[in-house]
Amino acid sequence: MHSTFHQEGYYIPMVMQLIRVRLSKSSLFVLCLVLALSFTGCKYRTDLKVSHSRVIKLQIITVDDSWKLRKGEGGVIAADVNDDGRRDFIITKYDNIAAYDNSGKNIWIKQIDIQVSTNSENNGLPGWLGAGVQASDVDADLRTEVLFLTKKNMLHIIDGATGETEKVILLQHPEGTERWEHLVVANFRGKGDRDLLLQTTNTDGYRMGKYLAAYAIEDLLGRENFSPLWTRDDFIPCAHNGARVADLNQDGKDEVLGGTIIGPDGNILMKIELKGHIDSIYVSDVRPDIPGLEVVALEEGGGNRIFLYNHERLIWTAHHEHREPQNAAIGNFMPESPGLEIWCRSRFDEHQKPFMFDSSGKLISAYEMDSVAPEGWTVKGVETIFTVDWTGKSKQLAAAKERHRSGDVAIFDPLSGEFLSRFNEKAGILYVADVSGDWREELIVLNANELRIYENQDSNPSSNHHRLWTIDHYRRSKMTWNYYSP
Ligand SMILES: [Ca+2]
Ligand SMILES: [Ca+2]
Ligand SMILES: [Ca+2]
Ligand SMILES: [Ca+2]
């Protein structure tokens, strides 16, 4: 139990509990009973029918619950806010942003009109569950800054460790837009995290984030009349989430990822021929035999195709009976097959029929969710599907929550659909990242006013593996995700 904190006039009760749960097949019943007794107050129980993860640690961080809740508005990211080498948590909601350290202690909390939204096509970016926040050392003083936009079109840069405001900058936004709506710390000049990408949507009609502007952060910090490095008003974005950036060609500078790939100097490098719009977009080294990273985009409408491409060419397109892929998980789900596999959830509102392609675009798996989901799982299937390094083995798995309800969370094998672990939850938000530091990833669940972190304590078969945070596109993806593109 932590003490209480006073900050900015708020009184914030903090509770942090650490519970170790040991589960084995033989003692499952006894331990469920123990768990049920331990959690009488919050009616908590966990079920694992699994050999993958017999030992789970659950950390519960109680977050400020005085916030106004607007479903889907705001999100969660992990970042080392206070520079102690451990990942902390930033939670955003309507009119609020708060940071909790790795142990669960509140670092700071602010009531401010942060730019978060629900569906971007009606309300602008960052879209459902988009956190609308970035964290990095953007001025090279070896301290992390936290950056976010407000509804009054201000860019706030605050000191991560203290929450003190370093700079508030009024931005100019393009004609026909309401304000800048999405921000991504980027490296466009090869100087590291010293640049900022801004994105926004057209105010009228179906809102699409076609407006981009890139700034050098030192210009924003130091000049009265700063001008952008470049701007564009013709970016082809994913329809439902903000732009992502990654160094596709590994030349030390970031590209901006969408239906168009924009180079670090603002020029269009590549454009895919969409008939519909992009529902979901990802970046990874899907094809290790091709230099650099590849982008996966899922099309809604047109041919309902999956596109694999990079900064210079289309590698392939594929479809499964022209069924809408809608959401995906990209990972090493079949280690014996070269490269990464692409799992697609399918559109069906009920009775989803997922399918999977190998890295050459060949269909390798298709099944019905109803035949693999455990008893009582919603017929609406899964959502917020993250690839997860849970076991420490080369085969990756996927984590997701029950769709369209604050429900359970599960880890499943995308190849077979087998549900390996199910966690009894009321998950409003699911997020996956390595926050424990053993390189494997944890499941981070926002359940009402509790942030619940599930960690696999089973033996780690590759304990010398590099930390995932050292991979630039992992770090950027984990700061820039939303519901459609975890
Ligand atoms: Ca930290
Ligand atoms: Ca700094
Ligand atoms: Ca590059
Ligand atoms: Ca590659």
For 96-144, write each residue's pLDDT tens digit.
Answer: 999 999 999 999 999 999 999 999 999 999 999 999 999 999 999 999 9
Cα(410) to centroid(ligand 4), Å: 30
- Name the region of 279 (left: φ>0; alpha: ψ -120 to 50; beta: rest): alpha
What's the 471 CA to ligand 3 centre distance in angstroms? 14
Asked if 250 and 284 count as a contact pair (C-beta separation under 8 A), the reply is: no
- Of the two residues 16 and 61, the one the predictor is more confident about is 61
Task: Read off the pLDDT band of 337 (50, 70, 90).
Answer: very high
Q: What share of the chain has pLDDT > 70, as a percent?
A: 88
Residue 77 Cα, ligand 2 centroid: separation in angstroms?
19
Is the confidence at residue 369, as pLDDT, over 80?
A: yes
Look at 72 and 179; give whichever has higher pLDDT.
179
**Which-ligand-closest: CA of 143?**
2
Q: Which amino acid is at 204?
A: D
Question: Rounded to the nearest whole angstrom, what is the distance from the C-alpha of residue 277 to the centroid of ligand 4?
Answer: 24
Spacing, Cα 22 to ligand 4 middle (Å): 40
Q: How many whole angstroms from 283 Cα to the centroid of ligand 2? A: 27
Rg of the Cα atoms in the chain = 22
CA 383 to chain centre: 13
Distances (CA, A) of 437 to 240, 296, 441: 32, 28, 9
Give the ligand at the shortest distance from the Cα of 104.
1
* SS3 state of residue 447: strand
Residue 95 has pLDDT above 90, yes or no: yes
CA of 352 from ligand 1 middle (Å) equals 39
- Whether the pLDDT of residue 307 is over 80: the answer is yes
* Chain-centre distance for alpha carbon 328: 13
Share of the chain above pLDDT 90, in %: 85
Residues 225 and 406: their CA atoms lie apart, in Å, by 47
54 or 146: which leads in pLDDT:
146
CA of 3 to the centre of ligand 3 (A): 47
Question: Which residue, 65, 59, 61, is CA-closest to 12?
Answer: 65
Coil vs helix vs strand at 100: strand
The residues facing 169 across adjacent strands are 155
pLDDT at 20 over 90: no
Query: What is the overall mean pLDDT for the chain?
Result: 90
C-alpha closest to that of 96 among 136, 148, 152: 148
- Is pLDDT above 80 for 438? yes
Query: 253 CA to middle of ligand 3, Å?
Result: 4
Q: Is the confidence at residue 287, as pLDDT, over 80?
A: yes
Question: Counting ligands in written order, which one lies closest to the CA of residue 287?
Answer: 4
In this structure, what token pair is assigned to residue 443? Answer: 């499941």
pLDDT at residue 445 in the model: 97
Centre of ligand 1 from the C-alpha of residue 135, in Å: 11
Nearest ligand to the C-alpha of residue 435?
1
Cβ count near 328 (within 10 Å): 28
> Which position has the higher pLDDT, 314 or 13?
314
DSSP string for 253-274: SPEEESSEEEPTTS-EEEE---
Is there a contact between 157 and 193 (Cβ–Cβ < 8 Å)?
no
Point out the ligand nearest to the CA of residue 283.
4
The pLDDT score that the predictor gives to residue 194 is 98
| Cα 372 to ligand 2 centre (Å) | 48
- Is 404:411 a contact under the CB 8 Å cutoff? no
- Per-residue confidence band for 212, with pLDDT thresholds at 50, 70 and 90: very high
pLDDT at 223: 78
User: Would you tell me how many other CB atoms lie within 10 Å of the CB of residue 442?
Assistant: 26
Contact assessment for residue 445 and residue 399, using Cβ atoms and an 8 Å cutoff = no
User: What is the whole-number distance in angstroms between the Cα of residue 292 and the centre of ligand 4?
Assistant: 4
Cβ partners under 8 Å of residue 471, min gap 6:
none
Residue 195 C-alpha to ligand 3 middle, in angstroms?
Answer: 14
Beta bridge partners of 299: 278
Confidence label for 225 from pLDDT (cuts 50, 70 and 90): confident
Which pTM was predicted? Answer: 0.89
Identify the nearest ligand to the CA of 140 by its number.
2
How many whole angstroms separate alpha carbon 35 and alpha carbon 423?
13
Distance (Å) from CA 200 to ligand 3 centroid: 23
In this predicted structure, the answer to whether residue 68 has a pLDDT above a threshold of 90 is no
What's the 356 CA to ligand 4 centre distance in angstroms? 19
- Convert the pLDDT of each residue in 227-285 to its tens digit: 999 999 999 999 999 999 999 999 999 999 999 999 999 999 999 999 999 999 999 99
What residues flank ion ligand 3 with Cβ within 5 A? 247, 249, 251, 253
In a 3-state reduction of DSSP, which class is residue 36? helix
Residue 263 CA to chain centroid, in angstroms?
Answer: 23
Tens digit of pLDDT for each residue in 378-422? 999 999 999 999 999 999 999 999 999 999 999 999 999 999 999
CA distance 404 to 407: 8
Measured from the alpha carbon of residue 284, the closest ligand is 4
Residue 15 pLDDT greater than 80, yes or no: no
| Closest ligand by atom to 308 CA | 4
Burial classification of residue 271, based on how many CB atoms lie within 10 Å of its CB (0-12 exposed, 13-18 middle, 19 or more buried): middle
CA of 480 to the centre of ligand 4 (A): 21
Q: What is the dihedral of CA 110, 111, 113, 119, to 10 degrees?
A: 90
3-state class percentages of the chain: helix first, strand second, coil last, to nearest 5: 10, 40, 55
Gap from CA of 140 to ligand 2 centroid (Å)? 5
CA-closest candidate to residue 79, choices 431, 464, 457: 431
Say yes or no to pLDDT of 16 above 70.
no
| Distance (Å) from CA 161 to ligand 1 centroid | 9
**pLDDT for position 54:** 61
CA of 296 to the centre of ligand 4 (A): 12
Strand, coil or helix: 73: coil
Structure confidence at residue 3 (pLDDT): 29
Residue 292 Cα to ligand 3 middle (Å): 9
Q: How far is the CA of 310 from the centre of ligand 4 (A)?
A: 8
Per-residue confidence (pLDDT) for residue 303, from 0 to 100: 95
Question: What distance in angstroms lies between residue 129's CA and the mean position of ligand 4's atoms?
Answer: 29
pLDDT tens digit string along 131-150?
999 999 999 999 999 999 99
> 51-55, 87-91, 155-159, 200-204 — which is least confidently predicted?
51-55
Distance 79 CA to ligand 2 centre (A): 14
Reply yes or no on whether the pLDDT at 39 is more than 90.
no
pLDDT of residue 10: 27
* Lowest pLDDT segment from 23-27, 153-157, 177-181: 23-27
Are the C-beta atoms of 21 and 53 separated by less than 8 Å?
A: no
